[in-house]
Amino acid sequence: MSKSATLSKSSTLPDVTVLPQTPQLIALFTMIRDVKTQRGDFVFYSNRIIRMMVEEGLNHLPVKELEVSTPTDLAYKGLQFEGKICGVSIMRAGEAMEQGLRDCCRSVRIGKILIQRDEETADAKLFYEKLPADIKDRYVLLLDPMLATGGSAIMAVEVLLSKGVPANRILFLNLISSPEGIETFCKSCPGVKIITGFIDEGLNEKRFVVPGLGDFGDRYYCL
């Protein structure tokens, strides 16, 4: 069994959740991986997967019991999210996931972190951050479509931790991960949950995820 196949079961990594590999999800991934898929279709099918990612992320937030009255004058014992949330996108590809979060969470606050990777060393460097002033009191959904080496995501988590956000209140949402990136991230950011759509085979010599889907930001934003 390959390393990625082992990780995809997520049973050996309690802080990693992989979306159920349903025929619908696999078909969506097939569309966005295809080099022949045009930008309009890439955006549409990516947005569908992003919505699934956000909905799964919300399943990991704490809830409390809430009883309401229905229009039939009967009581219904349900649930209510406990605590405030916000999204933080790693610019620029992560910004593609913001609308999916807004579609699920009305009037949600969203912060931004700009981290760029040195193409020669693959090291991450922080350039900009703008976050809600009360972020330490919120559950944070960290947004970035791809987890390759893990450098950018780890630096983003370090920024959040420096603002007082507890590690167990951070959920990192991404569409595709590499096994190497997951291992590096989990070692560097204990307590932070990863929610991913798929774990790929690994990284190539340029440290890009393979088979991957190319540069997500270019395919999402560029004509």
Catalytic residues: 117, 121, 215, 218
b/e 89-102 (16+ beta carbons within 10 angstroms → b): bbbebbbbbbebbe
Type of residue at 141: L
Cβ atoms of residues 90 and 113 within 8 Å: yes
DSSP category for residue 95:
G
CB atoms within 10 A of CB 56: 18
CA dist., res. 51 & res. 152, Å (int): 22
Q: Do strands 109-117 and 16-18 pair parallel, antiparallel, or not at all (unpaired)?
A: unpaired
